[in-house]
Amino acid sequence: MARLLAVTIIVIAIVSAIPVIMHTWEAPADISTHGQMIDDQMADTMIEAGISFLAAQILLALFIWKSPSNKPGPEGKFKVFPGGAKGLIIASIVLVGVEVLALGAFGSKAWARVYFTPPAADSMPIQAQAGQFAFYFRYPGKDGKFGPIHPELISEATQNLFGLDPEHDVESRDDIVAAELAIPVNKEIHLLMHAKDVSHSFYVPALRIHQDFVPGLDLSVHFTATKIGKYEIVCSQLCGLGHYNMRAYLEVMSPEDFDDWQKKQAAAQ
């Protein structure tokens, strides 16, 4: 029975690894300038975790396989692992400890690329607002300034989704509000995030961007999309019964198409 267990462990380990090696299930292809670093980090981790996984399972299976045939030596003692505990502890620290700490060090660069670099001075500011169960996006218009949000004015009934007061706030008058995030290709976007009610998340797998909307905190992320197309923005922070259905689309456009889109939206406001 020990040998059957050893074989089962090996079969499970190999079968588990096949979809990973074959890339059977993968995230949508990256469309960002920073995503390659994340993908590389993921691939490196996959290799190191994969080797650790297979090595540990194979070693476990091997020793279980050999177990029935192990016999005590002349003094009635069974063989002890060569090098004993010292060897095993050193192996843990050298093979795994150094490996994962190195991973962490290199991975920090990818994290820093996303979070420690300020947005470029000419990046395009767009405000995203998340509420149960929709995203809305606001563009500052020609003046380049967002009008202030007045929470008490927010109303879906009157479609004042950002609580704007154009009568009193000059900056609000040309703000454009949309239900989709339209952006020009190859232009850095500085997304200013505002939560209307509870926590939500801005997750665009294709964009390699994932950031929670936190009520009471003004957060921002910045990114550049490099491929024209339509991509899904999903909420990954449990926000209520409609959580599964809370989504919007990211439309990456050519600069010309984006200008047309903005003009149409401005005219429709």
Partner 1 sequence: MHDKPAVSTAPAVVHGPPTTFISKHVFSLDHKVIGKQYYALALAAVLTGMVLSWLMRIHLGWNDLAIPGLQALSPNGAPSGVMTPEMYLRIMTMHATFMVFFVLTTAPFAAFGNFFLPIQVGAEDMPFPHFNMMSFWTTFVAFCVLVTAFFTTDGPPLSGWTAYAPLSAIGKDTGPGQGTGQIIWAAAIGIFCIGQLLGALNFISTVLDMRCKGMTLKRLPVTAWAWFITSCMGLTAFAVLMPATILLILDHVAGTSFFIPSGLVINDQLVPHSGGSTLLWQHLFWFFGHPEVYIAIVPGMGIITHVLITNMRRPMVSMKAILYSMWALAFLSYMVYGHHMFVSGMNPFSSLVFSFPTLMITIPSTVLVLIWIGSLYGSRIRINAASLFALGFISMFVTGGVSGFFLAQPSIDIMLHATYFVVGHFHMVMGVAAIFGIFSGTYFWFPKMTGRMMNETLGKAHFWLTFVGTYCTFMPFHYLGWAANVRRYSAFTDDYLKPLIPLHQFITIAALFTGAVQLTFLYNLVHSLFRGAPAPANPWEGTSLEWTMPSPPPWNNFGGKDPVVYHDADQYGVKTASGADYIMQDSPEPSPTGC
For residues 181-240, which are near partner 1 according to CB under 8 A? 195-199, 201, 203, 205, 208-212, 214-217, 219, 232, 234-240
Distance of alpha carbon 262 from alpha carbon 181, whole angstroms: 11
Least separation, in Å, of the C-beta of 266 and partner 1? Answer: 26
Least separation, in Å, of the C-beta of 6 and partner 1? Answer: 9
The residue whose two tokens read 């505002």 is 194
Q: Indicate the residue among 83 and 255 with the shorter CB distance to partner 1.
A: 83
| Contact positions with partner 1 (CB under 8 A) in 23-42 | 24-28, 37-38, 41-42
Q: What is the largest CA-CA distance in the chain?
A: 97
Distance of alpha carbon 178 from alpha carbon 141, whole angstroms: 12
Q: Is the peptide bond preceding residue 133 cis, with omega within 30 degrees of 0?
A: yes
Distance of alpha carbon 36 from alpha carbon 24, whole angstroms: 20
Q: Indicate the residue among 63 and 254 with the shorter CB distance to partner 1.
A: 63
Least separation, in Å, of the C-beta of 142 and partner 1? Answer: 27
| Contact pattern from residue 115 through residue 134 relative to partner 1, giving x for each residue in contact according to CB under 8 A and a dash for the rest | xx--------------xx--
Least separation, in Å, of the C-beta of 43 and partner 1? Answer: 10
Q: Indicate the residue among 97 and 144 with the shorter CB distance to partner 1.
A: 97
Q: Indicate the residue among 214 and 266 with the shorter CB distance to partner 1.
A: 214
Distance of alpha carbon 146 from alpha carbon 140, whole angstroms: 5
Q: Indicate the residue among 154 and 185 with the shorter CB distance to partner 1.
A: 154
Least separation, in Å, of the C-beta of 243 and partner 1? Answer: 6
Distance of alpha carbon 144 from alpha carbon 125, whole angstroms: 8
Cβ atoms of 233 and 204 closer than 8 Å: yes
Question: Quick one: which of 5, 11, 23 has its CA closest to 64?
Answer: 5
- Give the count of residues interacting with partner 1 (CB under 8 A): 106
| Contact positions with partner 1 (CB under 8 A) in 76-115 | 76-81, 84-85, 87-89, 91-93, 95-97, 100-101, 103-104, 107-111, 114-115
Axis crossing angle, helix 2-21 with helix 35-66, rounded to the nearest 10:
160
Q: Indicate the residue among 203 and 266 with the shorter CB distance to partner 1.
A: 203
124's enclosing H/E stretch is strand 124-131
| Contact positions with partner 1 (CB under 8 A) in 127-166 | 131-132, 149, 151-152, 154-157, 163
| Contact positions with partner 1 (CB under 8 A) in 45-64 | 45, 48-50, 52-53, 56-57, 59-60, 63-64
Q: Indicate the residue among 37 and 176 with the shorter CB distance to partner 1.
A: 37
Query: From start to end of 153-244, where are the E strands?
Result: 176-178, 181-184, 188-195, 200-204, 209-213, 219-224, 229-234
6's enclosing H/E stretch is helix 2-21
